[in-house]
Amino acid sequence: MGKFDKYKIDLKGMQADSCKYEFVLDNLFFANIDGPEVQKGKVNVELVVRKTSRAFELNFQTDGMVWVPCDRCLDDMEQPVSSTDKLLVKFGHEYAEEGENLIVIPEDEGIINVAWFMYEFVALAIPMKHVHAPGKCNKAMSSKLRKHLRTTPDEEEEDAFIPEDDVLTEEETETPIDPRWNELKKILDNN
Ligand SMILES: [Zn+2]
């Protein structure tokens, strides 16, 4: 059995007019799918498939938590995700994505694998800007990053909103407390 076999929905073999599936997307799922946005998480997906005269309607309700790097300090942070998405699936000669959520699958197979679609729904549910709650950032990292990113007007403006307890004293900035600081420094020095 392949890693993603359990996400195959047999539309052709569907007996009832409506069918319900539940999936839990866990760390193993995200590791297997190996997408760029999410590597870890625990997300529940409820999928209701409805057969209509012209197509299959797949309604996904996605709720859970993913761990993604914080924009400000790069440490992982918990990001709640919640999304409602719909796919329409029709039978045709060969696989095609027609428009944003209309999928054509070969009629002789009649099966759609929803693993990647579910991954995309999760990835798209992550807000563009995601940061730790005030004061929860890795202080050494965020301070270094701020200094090096302080080149665009946008960043200058955002600095104004950083709560005071996020700002470091001189002493703290002199002490690299996180081993990743060295890795970051290497990257920054090379640029
Ligand atoms: Zn942070």
Residue 153 pLDDT class (50, 70, 90 cuts): low
Question: Over 50: is that where the pLDDT of 156 sits?
Answer: no
Ion ligand 1: protein residues whose beta carbon lies under 5 Å: 70, 72-73, 132, 137
pLDDT band at 26 (very low <50, low <70, confident <90, very high): very high
Ligand 1 centroid distance, CA of 132 (Å) = 4
The total of other beta-carbon atoms located within 10 Å of residue 177's CB is 10
Torsion angles phi and psi, residue 117, rounded to 5:
-60, -45
* Secondary structure element (H or E) that encloses residue 179, with its range: helix 179-190
Q: How remote is the CA of residue 34 from the centroid of ligand 1, in Å?
A: 23
Q: How far is the CA of 158 from the centre of ligand 1 (A)?
A: 14
What is the whole-number distance in angstroms between the Cα of residue 62 and the centre of ligand 1? 25
The CA 45 to ligand 1 mean position distance, Å, reads 27
Q: Report residue 54's pLDDT band, with 50, 70 and 90 as the boundaries.
A: confident
Angle at 74 between CA 3 and CA 72, to 5 degrees: 135
- The rounded Å distance from CA 131 to ligand 1 centre is 5
pLDDT, mean over the chain:
85
Say whether pLDDT at 161 is over 70. Answer: no
Q: Give the Å distance between the CA of 124 and the centre of ligand 1.
A: 20
Whether the predicted pLDDT of 159 surpasses 60:
no
In single-letter form, the type of residue at position 150 comes to: R
Q: How far is CA 100 from CA 64, 94, 127, 131, 191, in A?
A: 24, 17, 20, 29, 38
pTM (2 decimals)? 0.74
pLDDT at 6 over 90: yes
**C-alpha span between 20 and 38 (Å, rounded):** 26
Q: How far is the centre of ligand 1, averaged over its atoms, from the C-alpha of 178 (Å)?
A: 13
Overall average pLDDT of the 159-164 stretch: 50
